[in-house]
């Protein structure tokens, strides 16, 4: 029987250090500030924004919220982003995704200053990660690595399989594990015989959004399993992994909810305080 990785507890531990860093920046006369932009009234996005604002308040990070109507034009949204880029009191800018279909997410993300891109989605930050330089790392994959490390598992030399290749989760997760000297395999919707790869994984990170994609027979005994997905099934949250049966095989596994989600929010806070610290350097 494996151990459940308590993402809430692991995030709370990380947040103790983040809070101290926030205080240290405040002591120098600067309060870290995160601008949060929500366009439209997608209930899930509203809930995520609410959780981020609540966590920021707990840690002493100021938030400036912009709740814009769904009809907001791309031009107006980009104008707001540029205005926030130029505002020295704002250290981090978060535009909650997804955006309404008439707005190009790419165009909006490209216009966020890389120095304030606390979600780590600007191509400049993605390039920094690719080339092993310091930049903002996307919050969810950064949190996945923290969760693996919270189990005491040595990453170096391990086989890591990442399912999913999005710019937000899968690709950066693979790069981060590679940087930690794992041997990384990336799988996606065109992968043939997915189980052949996953059964070889000492560390399995699944970021797809298909409930029960990963069943117990696809998991190597003793593997660490990080389930990033958040799927709504019959009113309940589920991940990609068939949790109950996987728990019998894995050494450690994240639950959904209560696994990757809380650590993602903690990493956003960490990136925000890092952005504020950089303005003092
Ligand atoms: P995405 O952009 O839709 O990417 C999904 C990836 O899964 C794609 O690369 C896709 O492959 C791959 N895929 C689809 N069907 C597959 C299959 N049957 N077998 C193998 N791979 C398959 O999603 P995302 O933004 O990365 O998010 C993934 C999941 O994580 C979602 O459930 C999302 O809600 C969740 N999420 C959670 C957090 C959190 O904080 N907990 C944060 C972000 C995302 P192709 O590239 O070939 O299409």
Residue 229 alpha carbon to ligand 1 centre in Å: 7
Catalytically annotated residue among 117, 119, 202, 240: 119
Domain carrying residue 41? 29-113
Looking at the domain assignment, is residue 280 inside a domain? no
Q: Where does a domain end: 113, 131, 156? A: 113
Helices (H), the chain: 7-27, 43-59, 74-85, 105-111, 123-130, 139-150, 170-179, 194-198, 243-249, 260-280
Q: How many domains does the chain have?
A: 2
Residue whose CB lies within 8 A of the most ligand 1 atoms, among 189, 194, 195, 198, for a mutation test: 189
**CATH at 148:** 3.40.50.720
User: Does residue 28 carry a catalytic annotation?
Assistant: no
148 plus 245 within the same structural domain: yes
Looking at the domain assignment, is residue 200 inside a domain? yes
Query: What does residue 11 show for φ and ψ, rounded to 5 degrees?
Result: -65, -40
243 plus 154 within the same structural domain: yes
183 plus 249 within the same structural domain: yes
Burial of 61 (0-12, 13-18, 19+ CB in 10 A): buried
How far is residue 88's CA from residue 91's CA, in Å, rounded to a whole number?
7
Ligand 1 lined by 231 (C-beta under 6 Å): yes
157 plus 253 within the same structural domain: yes
Looking at the domain assignment, is residue 181 inside a domain? yes
How far is residue 51's CA from residue 53's CA, in Å, rounded to a whole number?
6
How far is residue 188's CA from residue 213's CA, in Å, rounded to a whole number?
12
147 plus 210 within the same structural domain: yes
Which residues make beta-bridge pairs with 63? Answer: 34
Looking at the domain assignment, is residue 163 inside a domain? yes
Ligand 1 lined by 187 (C-beta under 6 Å): yes
Which residues make beta-bridge pairs with 206? Answer: 163, 227
107 plus 149 within the same structural domain: no
Looking at the domain assignment, is residue 268 inside a domain? no
Instruction: Tell me how far apart the 2 most distant CA atoms of the chain are, in Å.
Output: 56
Ligand 1 lined by 96 (C-beta under 6 Å): no
159 plus 231 within the same structural domain: yes
**pLDDT truncated to tens, each residue of the chain (281 aa)?**
999 999 999 999 999 999 999 999 999 999 999 999 999 999 999 999 999 999 999 999 999 999 999 999 999 999 999 999 999 999 999 999 999 999 999 999 999 999 999 999 999 999 999 999 999 999 999 999 999 999 999 999 999 999 999 999 999 999 999 999 999 999 999 999 999 999 999 999 999 999 999 999 999 999 999 999 999 999 999 999 999 999 999 999 999 999 999 999 999 999 999 999 999 98
How far is residue 171's CA from residue 186's CA, in Å, rounded to a whole number?
8
82 plus 192 within the same structural domain: no
Give residues with Cβ within 8 angstroms of 43, minimum separation 6: none
What angle, 0 to 180 degrees and rounded to 10, lies between the N-to-C axes of helices 260-280 and 43-59? 50
109 plus 143 within the same structural domain: no
**CATH at 91:** 3.40.50.10860
Q: How large is the C-alpha radius of gyration of the chain?
A: 19
| Tens digit of each residue's pLDDT (9 = 90 or more) over 18-70 | 999 999 999 999 999 999 999 999 999 999 999 999 999 999 999 999 999 99
257 plus 145 within the same structural domain: yes
CA angle 215, 195, 159 (to 5 degrees): 105
Residue whose CB lies within 8 A of the most ligand 1 atoms, among 208, 233, 256, 263, for a mutation test: 208
- For residue 90 the two structure tokens come to 């704002």
Q: For residue 219, what are the CA distances in angstroms to 6, 74, 122, 176, 215? A: 20, 44, 34, 21, 7
Looking at the domain assignment, is residue 131 inside a domain? no
102 plus 150 within the same structural domain: no
Looking at the domain assignment, is residue 18 inside a domain? no
How far is the first Cα of the chain from the last one, in angstroms, to the nearest whole number? 48
Looking at the domain assignment, is residue 272 inside a domain? no
């Amino acid at each position: 029987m494996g151990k459940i990785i308590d993402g809430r507890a692991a995030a709370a531990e990380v947040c103790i250090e983040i809070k101290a860093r926030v205080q240290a920046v405040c002591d120098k006369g600067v309060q870290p500030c995160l601008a949060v932009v929500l366009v439209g009234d997608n209930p899930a996005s509203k809930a995520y924004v609410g959780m981020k604002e609540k966590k920021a308040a707990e840690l002493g990070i100021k938030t400036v919220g912009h709740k814009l109507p769904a009809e907001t034009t791309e031009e107006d949204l980009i104008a707001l982003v540029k205005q926030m880029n130029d505002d020295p009191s704002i250290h981090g800018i978060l535009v909650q995704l997804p955006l309404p279909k008439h707005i190009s997410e790419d165009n909006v993300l490209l216009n966020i200053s890389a120095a304030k891109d606390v979600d780590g989605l600007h191509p400049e930050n993605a390039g920094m990660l690719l080339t092993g330089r310091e930049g903002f790392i996307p919050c969810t994959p950064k949190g996945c690595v923290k969760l693996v490390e919270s189990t005491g598992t040595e990453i170096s030399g391990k086989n890591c399989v990442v399912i999913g290749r999005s710019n937000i989760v899968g690709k950066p997760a693979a790069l981060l594990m590679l940087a930690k000297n794992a041997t990384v395999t990336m799988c996606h919707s065109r992968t043939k015989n997915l189980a052949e790869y996953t059964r070889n994984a000492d560390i399995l990170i699944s970021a797809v959004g298909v409930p029960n994609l990963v069943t117990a027979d696809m998991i190597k005994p003793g593997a660490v399993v990080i389930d990033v997905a958040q799927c709504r099934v019959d009113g309940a949250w589920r991940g990609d992994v068939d949790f109950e049966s996987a728990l019998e095989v894995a050494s450690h596994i994240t639950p959904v909810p209560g696994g990757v989600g809380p650590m993602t929010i903690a990493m956003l806070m960490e990136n925000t305080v890092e952005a504020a610290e950089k303005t003092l350097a």
